[in-house]
Amino acid sequence: MRLLHLEADGGFSLIERVGDAIPPYAILSHTWGADDDEVTFKDLMEGTGLGKAGYKKLTFCGKQAASDGLDYFWVDTCAIDKSSSAELSEAINSMFQWYRNSVKCYVYLSDVSSDSLARNDGTFQKSRWFKRGWTLQELVAPRSVVFYSSDGQRIGDKNSMVQDLHSITGIDPDALHGAPLSRFSIDEKMAWAAKRDTKREEDGAYCLLGLFEVSMSLIYGEGRNRAFARLRKVIDEVSGVQMPQSRPVVAKWNVPFSRNQHFVGRESYLHRLENMLFEEGQPPAIAITGLGGVGKTQIVIELAHRTRRKHRDCSIFWLPATSVENLQQGYADIARLLKQFEPEQDQVGMKKMVQRRLNEESSGRWLLIIDNIDDMDMWNSELKGFLPRSQQGCVVCTTRNRKIAVRIATSQVIELPQMEEQAAMDLLAESLIHKEHLASEEDAERLLGQIAFLPLAIVQAAAYINENGIMLSDYLSLLEQQEQDVVDLLSEDFEDMGRYDTIKNPVATTWLISFDQIRRQSPLAAEYLSFMSCVDSKAIPKALLPQAATPKVELDAIGILDAYYFVTRRTTDNTFDVHRLVHLAMRNWLRKEGTLVQWTGNAVRRLLEVFPDHPEEKGTSRSVWRSYLPHARSVLYAEVEESFENERVNLLGAFSRCLSSDGRYAEAEVASMEVVQLKQRLLGDEHLETITSKRYLAVAYSDLGKYQMAEELELENVEIAKRMLGDNHPATLGIKGRIAGIYIQQDRWEEAADLQKQVLGSRMKSYGEYHLDTVASMVSMATIYSHQKRWEEAEQLGVKALEIRQTLRGDEDPGTLVSMNDLALTYQSQGRLQEAEEMQIRVVQIEKRVLGENHPETLNTLNGLVGTYIEQERLEEAEVLMKQVIKASEKVLGERHIRTIDRKSHLQLLYKMQKRWEDAEELGVDIVEASAAVFGKEHKDTLDSMEKLANVYAEQKRYSVAEKLYLEVFAIRKQTLGEKHAQTLICMSSLATTLRDLKRREEAISLLVNCIELRKEAFGLDDPSVERSLKRLTRWQNEI
């Protein structure tokens, strides 16, 4: 047998395998076009055939096989060397088995399009494929047959379309379900082929060889009648030598459910189950395990009915383990079927009798299905030690509890995962009365996503939609309501013929029994589940769970939740996910028990224990506290008892500071504002904690460019602090220092210098030089001096601050490293680039070792080093390093963090220096969008980025676009900073230049004259900017 393999380049290769060496493969069923259109064996050998129409079918089959996890596939046009009559004869005699042994058979209907399917015009039923002789065995033989349109759209599979296929072909439904063909008479099978045609008349007989399980030589040219005569003779000969069958055992059956005509999907799991049963080496027991509602019972119902059709001599018994009473009644029913029932016999005796009888060879083949054995106590008391073990039969159980699955079946455990999207879509389609609801594919996909592809939830949703005559979009809107409304929706009962009368059907209640079982088995597991229900359902860190007495106790508790499939472990980061609907159902359970509010408070308390008070404090990890943020948000905005109010406020404060550190300034502002309001209500305006909370709100305002609001808040704070604590109290001086920082952010250097000098003097007097607060003021003053170009003073103060910091905290303290970096920037500003570079490299080496390669402060220093490289005109080195820093910054801080945006601005500068205007423009647009999203349109950083982008447009001679951007920046700066502010005047000057470039000379000169007058008023006649502007004005006026 030759198999094809789809190569990475889109080509195909052939391999030859025989016997046990044949790997799993898919197989194509199709109708031939013209002989010249099909890709042949010769074409593959010679590398021709790419232009043939049939090549499309090979590509389709190869890609579909790959998507189904199959490396190999078989196509009759090119896997047989038809120039060899011996090979052709062997292939035709083997073909039925080749189709039978395939994992998947893809039916490619070249005359059926997806458009015709949408029109439902009967094209599928009229397809040529149903009229060809060879396709009869290709429909009957394979276990899994899937139909596809000419454009590759999946139409359905054999098992879900049995009635339609029976109507089209007349083939017995049992044969389509895979019943042994020996059960059907010769005339029946001949009738299936009666109306089918073949290109060569003899093939009408040859295509039936596999159907009758016979072989014969091929004699093309003998004619149809002679070929059929030889076929009939061979069939009669084989039938005549068959040994008479011994009298079969009368099969028993007590399955309580009829076959689900809407069963779809899960074919691979059924195929796996069927392959494990009734074969040599059959396991004594198989367990199917998975989350409640995932479809375990439906699979064993389908398995039971398929087994009954395929193996008429096999007895099939059903034990419902939904309760002890139901289990005992099930044993009594089986005992009656085995004619072993004794009314006075006790339960142990009856179970032993059933076990003994099924172990006897005279019982024949059997399948014992134990459904819903979820309770470990029931397993230990009612089933353990009573299961039959025989080569003639197999126990198949379904359970939500993996621990029970392993105890029953050891390693023969099939874990049933979430339904795949296509299978879920098929189930929804089968369950809906009005199929036109699926016309909105987006609504269908959203609905399935909302209910987590859970089969039980899909059937429940379809039942509600059918009963109420609503659209998918209506049901979706109900799912997007408040949590309690969604619970009410998912609590709606519905009819389901495949579930027990005694068990509640709705999704919201299906796991209640499991919750109770977990609580009995492990109180800690129940506590963990209750805790997880109060935080976010995704990526719950193990470190966040309440502490257990010992690591083993913790491991056992998590193991129980994992065994019930309530949690899924993420192996990469030691976190857990709780199934979305389980999370919802568990919250509802806690709410009904009156403990949800208490558990939410417990979660607040636990998060406060693990959350850093300050995100930058020593020993904290950004990745760790980031993982806590979504969980903090969940509990902070949920209802808690009044006794947890203080803890909630403190957690909210820590949460807001982490948001700020993460560059999420708008969210930090909202949270900080709420903290201030709560502190004022709980403690009053003049409590130290209230003042501290206002400090962080002021920081949030500053981060968003709301400097006036930040200043007003801190000025209010400083007055309260003076009155309460005195002018020189550490808290008062701290507020003054922060006000100086706000002045710096507004380029109010003189005011900043005056205030920071006052703070520095007070700190020197109160604490002396060797105090960290004093050092902080020294560093701030050094920054001010540097901006005022008072380089010597900046350097002297910077060196002194660094020496003191090194003495107090050592060379490797993060604050010391920041001081070293600030001093390096001072050297850079003075043009002492070699000294700046050496210090920056030294800092980077320490930071990489102490803080880590991608720590924000390490990246900050590397960013400064890029600036030094730029000043040294080492542009290539600067670009390589800058891109590395940006990549790390995006990963660590996020794409929209202020530092990431700032670093992109540096890269844009590099592009501009190299006159790479297209690169500068592309990056500039990204920077403007990010800045506007983070800070808002009127923030100075957003305006700076807009102005830089306008400069790029001007350099590209795209003056009209530049003018529009300059006008926007100028208008905002004029309104927010005033017309005499330096930044406003810079933009005004650039706009004037752009007007001149647009040949609007009079407007340009008028605007420049106005700019000069404002500069004179703001900075005086001797300011360099006035002198430069006057020269430019003279030049423009002298132009002809």
Average pLDDT over residues 137-144: 92
One-letter identity of residue 428: L
pLDDT tens, position by position, 249-307: 578 999 988 888 778 888 888 888 988 887 777 899 999 999 888 889 999 999 999 99
What single-letter amino acid sits at 715? L
Give mean pLDDT, residues 45-59. Answer: 87
Residue 761 has a pLDDT of 94
Q: What pLDDT band is residue 549 in, cutting at 50, 70 and 90?
A: confident
Amino acid 438: pLDDT: 79
Pick the more confident residue, 666 or 690.
690
| Residue 230: both structure tokens together | 């030889």
How high is the pLDDT of residue 492? 60
Per-residue model confidence (pLDDT) at position 738: 92
pLDDT at 971 exceeding the cut of 90: yes
CATH of domain 511-647: 1.10.10.10
Tokens of 398: 């379904």
For 372, other C-beta atoms within 10 Å of its C-beta total 24
Angle at 607 between CA 603 and CA 611, to 5 degrees: 175
DSSP string computed for 916-946 = -HHHHHHHHHHHHHHHHHHH-TTSHHHHHHH
Contact 106, 148 (CB under 8 A): yes
Which pLDDT does position 245 carry in this prediction? Answer: 42
Q: Distance between CA 667 and CA 631 in Å, rounded?
A: 15
What's the confidence (pLDDT) of residue 241?
43
Tell me the one-letter amino acid at 835. Answer: E
* Predicted pLDDT of residue 490: 65
Please name the residue that has the structure tokens 């083939």. 171
**Per-residue pLDDT at 629 exceeds 80:** yes
- pLDDT recorded at residue 673: 94
For residues 669 and 697, the answer to whether their CB atoms sit within 8 Å is yes
Q: Which tokens is 50 given?
A: 């790419």
User: For 315-323, what is the mean pLDDT?
Assistant: 92
Mean pLDDT of 170-179: 83
Give residue 623's pLDDT.
77
Look at residue 248 and tell me whether its pLDDT is greater than 50: no
Tell whether the model's pLDDT for residue 900 goes beyond 60.
Answer: yes
Q: How confident is the model at residue 18 (pLDDT cuts 50, 70, 90)?
A: low
DSSP 156: E
CB 732 within 8 A of CB 722: yes
Q: What pLDDT score was predicted for residue 507?
A: 67
Q: Which two structure tokens, joined as six digits, stand for 263?
A: 């069963």
Give the model's confidence band at 635: pLDDT under 50 very low, under 70 low, under 90 confident, else very high.
very high
Mean predicted confidence (pLDDT) in 65-75 = 90
Mean pLDDT of 321-333: 89
pLDDT for res 857: 81
**What is the structure's pLDDT at 1039?**
81
In the chain, domain spans: 2-241, 267-415, 421-507, 511-647, 915-1038
pTM summary value: 0.59
Q: Quick check: 868 and 854 in contact, CB under 8 A?
A: no
Res 246: pLDDT: 41
Hey, which residues does 76 pair with through a beta bridge? none
Q: State the pLDDT at residue 310.
A: 84
Binned at pLDDT 50, 70 and 90, residue 493 comes out as: low
Q: Is the pLDDT of residue 247 over 50?
A: no
- Classify domain 267-415 at the CATH topology level: Rossmann fold (3.40.50)
- 625: pLDDT strictly greater than 80: yes
User: Given this model, what pLDDT does residue 449 score?
Assistant: 87
Identity of the highest mean pLDDT range in 374-378, 463-467, 604-608, 857-861? 604-608
Kindly tell me if the per-residue pLDDT of 238 is higher than 90.
Answer: no
Nearest residue to 414 (alpha-carbon basis) of 207, 274, 512 = 274
Asked whether 653 and 668 are in contact (CB, 8 A), the reply is no
Just give the CATH number of 915-1038.
1.25.40.10
Higher pLDDT, 885 or 237: 885
- Residue 505 tokens read as 């059907």
pLDDT value at 848 more than 60: yes
Range with the poorest average pLDDT among 70-74, 583-587, 919-923: 583-587
Looking up tokens 């600036």 gives 867
pLDDT at 388: 92
Confidence of residue 240 (pLDDT cuts 50, 70, 90): low
Torsion of CA 650, 653, 658, 660, to 10 degrees: 180
What is the full DSSP assignment across 222-290?
S-HHHHHHHHHHHHHHHHHHPPPPPPPPPPPB---S---TT--S-HHHHHHHHHHSSSTT--SEEEEE-
Name residues whose C-beta falls within 8 Å of residue 119's C-beta, 6 or more positions apart in sequence: none
Q: Give me the chain's average pLDDT, please.
A: 87
What Cα–Cα distance (Å) separates residue 803 from each residue in 778, 819, 844, 923, 983?
12, 9, 18, 40, 36
Residue % of the chain over a pLDDT of 90: 42
Amino acid 491: pLDDT: 64
Q: Return the higher-pLDDT residue of 368 and 549.
A: 368
Residue 46 has what pLDDT? 85
Copy the structure tokens of residue 705. Answer: 């460019």
- Average pLDDT in the 340-365 region? 86
pLDDT of residue 243: 38
